[in-house]
Amino acid sequence: MTTTDEPTAEHAHQVSDRLGPGSVSVTRVGPRMYEGLNERGATLRVGGPELEGVHFTPGELLKLALISCSGLSADRVAARRLGDDFALTVWAHGHSERETNRYHRIDEEFLLDLSSLDPAERDQLIAIMEKAIRRGCTVARTIEGVVELPTTIDGDEV
């Protein structure tokens, strides 16, 4: 057992009998510091917001899951109109409320350049992207109704 606050690698992820597609785990690697692992072997560090270092908080992971899912859901329809090499950054803005210890609103912001499209094409693409996100994003569909999820695409709230 270590007495430092530095993460250690001495604790391996225990294997579950239920391991399968979609399974993820976290294992404690230090005080309030965990390592996340998926069944494909990818890892990341998760810890409390008071910790220094390279890690994500659980709330940040929730927001990353949401905007990653939204971006992936809109990716193909956007690529069909903008080309496979289009640039897109998706942000999630919001914080949990201290009194209730929960997220009530997370704003999604899609930053991409649609200036090459005429206004009608731009509006059509935004509508199609919104529909793709609403239909395809499992994370948004799971938390909608519990968390407000306003979405802005290229400056337009949809």
Q: Is the pLDDT of residue 72 over 60?
A: yes
Taking the CA atoms of residue 99, residue 92, residue 68 and residue 17 in that order, the dihedral angle to the nearest 10 degrees is: -20
Structural domains for the chain: 1-56 (no CATH), 58-157 (3.30.300.20)
Encode pLDDT of 111-143 as tens digits. Answer: 999 999 999 999 999 999 999 999 999 999 999
Encode pLDDT of 90-101 as tens digits. Answer: 999 999 999 999
Q: Is the pLDDT of residue 4 over 50?
A: no
Judged on CB neighbours under 10 Å (0-12, 13-18, 19+), 55 is buried
Q: Is the pLDDT of residue 50 over 60?
A: yes
Average pLDDT score over residue span 27-35: 92
Q: Give the whole-angstrom CA distance, residue 50 versus residue 66.
A: 23
Give residue for tokens 């785990």.
25
Give me the DSSP letters along 95-146.
--BTTTTB-SB-EEEEE---TTS-HHHHHHHHHHHHHHHHHH-HHHHHHBTT
pLDDT higher at 106 or 12: 106
Assign 20 a pLDDT band (cuts: 50, 70, 90).
confident
What pTM, to 2 d.p., does this model score? 0.86
The pLDDT value given to residue 132? 98
